[in-house]
Amino acid sequence: MIDLVYIAGTIVLIALCLGFIRVLQGPSLADRVVAFDLMATLAVGIICIYSIIEDRYIFTDAALVLAVIMFLGTIAFAYYLEKKGDEV
C-alpha cells in the first residue's frame, strides 16, 4: 500500500513540474491561470498524500481550505475575464 502512495506522489510531482513549465511558457493569461489552478489542485493532492504517509489526517483540513481558496480564485478570474470582454 505504501509503495502505491509513493508512486502516486511521484506522478503528482511530475505533473506539478509540467504545470510549472506551462505557467512559464503560457502564451496567454488564461493559459497561465489554468496552469496555476492545476498546480494548486496538485498541491491539494500532495497534502493529502502526505497526510496518508504520516497517518495524520488533520492535514486534510488544510487541503480543504486550499481547495476552497483556489475555487474562489478561479471564480474571480472568470469574473475578470467576463468584465474585460476577452474570449478565452
Would you write out the chain's pLDDT as a tens digit for each of its 88 residues?
778 988 998 999 999 999 999 999 989 888 888 999 999 999 999 999 999 889 998 999 999 999 999 999 989 988 888 888 755 5
The three three-digit cell numbers of residue 24, written as one number: 512559464
Burial of 42 (0-12, 13-18, 19+ CB in 10 A): buried
Work out the angle at residue 13's Cα, subtended by the Cα atoms of residues 55 and 9, and round it to the nearest 5 degrees: 30
CATH number at residue 15: 1.10.287
Per-residue pLDDT at 12 = 95
Per-residue pLDDT at 48 = 92
Please give the Cα distance from 30 to 33 (Å, whole number): 5
- The one-character DSSP state at 58 is T
Question: Domain residues for 13?
Answer: 2-84
Per-residue pLDDT at 87 = 58
Alpha helical stretches, state H, the chain: 2-25, 29-54, 59-84
The tally of domains found in the chain comes to 1
Q: Which of 9, 13, 79 is nearest to 48 (CA)?
A: 9
Per-residue pLDDT at 23 = 92
